[in-house]
Amino acid sequence: MTEAAELKRQLRRELRARVARLMPDERNLSAERVVGRISQHASWRQARTVMLFVPLPDEVDVLRLVDEAIGHGKTVLLPRYKSEADGYEPARIENVATDLVVGRFGVAEPASDCPGYPLKSLDVTLVPGLGFDLAGRRLGRGRGYYDRLLVGAAGRLWGVGFDCQLLPELPVETHDVVLNCIVTPSRCLEVVARAVE
């Protein structure tokens, strides 16, 4: 195991503990603030195609943005697992209540009849993580699924988390994708301009 990989393993444990200490009311209020920051951001308002994520219990609940985005005429996508590629693809949803099924890892995802969508069509992608840093780096859960998914993504990549998940610096490896912006309850931190092919 490389030094960076070992440090990431330790940080994952520490950041999980930080989030676990958040009370349910604090998590809910944090989610409301994050959703408010996102929905008011000019890039989000102008975006036509957006990809969100179905939150795990220790992630910010961004699904409350779906109905608003659809109501504003946006194309809304969520990641869907493709077993043949052992990876994820964006798929379009129109209704959270009817378009989602339980996926391979026990997380809701678009059903098989929801159409896939090209990564090149994305304007804004919301990305979960265990941690983020001031340079736009993200610490995921260690399987690399999001890094592989986001390599071909167009548009802006926004990390979404709680304030306790933002660190001054994270270890980086060659496969790590850098984000444009980190959104937490207390800030919207613009960090880099990603080159889009």
Please answer whether residues 161 and 128 qualify as being in contact, where contact means their C-beta atoms are separated by less than 8 angstroms: yes
Please state whether the predicted TM-score (pTM) of the whole model is above 0.85: yes
Q: What is the pLDDT along the chain (197 residues), one digit of tens a residue?
A: 678 778 889 999 999 999 999 999 999 999 999 999 999 999 999 999 999 999 999 999 999 899 999 999 999 999 999 988 888 999 999 999 999 999 988 899 999 999 999 999 999 999 999 999 999 999 988 777 888 888 888 999 999 999 999 999 998 877 788 999 999 999 999 986 554 44
pLDDT at 26: 96
| pLDDT value for 35 | 97
Rounded (5°) CA angle 31-34-39? 120
DSSP assignment of 61-113 equals --TTHHHHHHHTT-EEEEEEEEGGGTEEEEEEES-HHHHEEE-TTS-EEE-TT
CA dist., res. 87 & res. 2, Å (int): 24
What secondary structure letter does DSSP report for 128? -
Where do the H-state alpha helices sit in the chain? 3-20, 24-40, 42-46, 65-71, 96-99, 145-150
Contact assessment for residue 138 and residue 131, using Cβ atoms and an 8 Å cutoff: yes
Q: What is the pLDDT of residue 143?
A: 79
3-190, CATH topology level: Rossmann fold (3.40.50)
**Of residues 193, 42, 57, 62, the one with CA closest to residue 78:** 62
Judge contact between 33 and 186, C-beta under 8 A. yes
CA separation for the pair 33, 65 (Å, rounded): 12
Parallel/antiparallel/unpaired status of strands 166-167 and 131-133 = parallel
Q: What's the confidence (pLDDT) of residue 196? A: 45
Contact predicate 119/90, CB 8 Å: yes
Cα–Cα distance for residue pair 104/79, rounded to 1 Å: 12
If one counts every other C-beta atom within 10 angstroms of the C-beta of residue 49, the result is: 21
122: Cα separation from own chain's centroid: 13
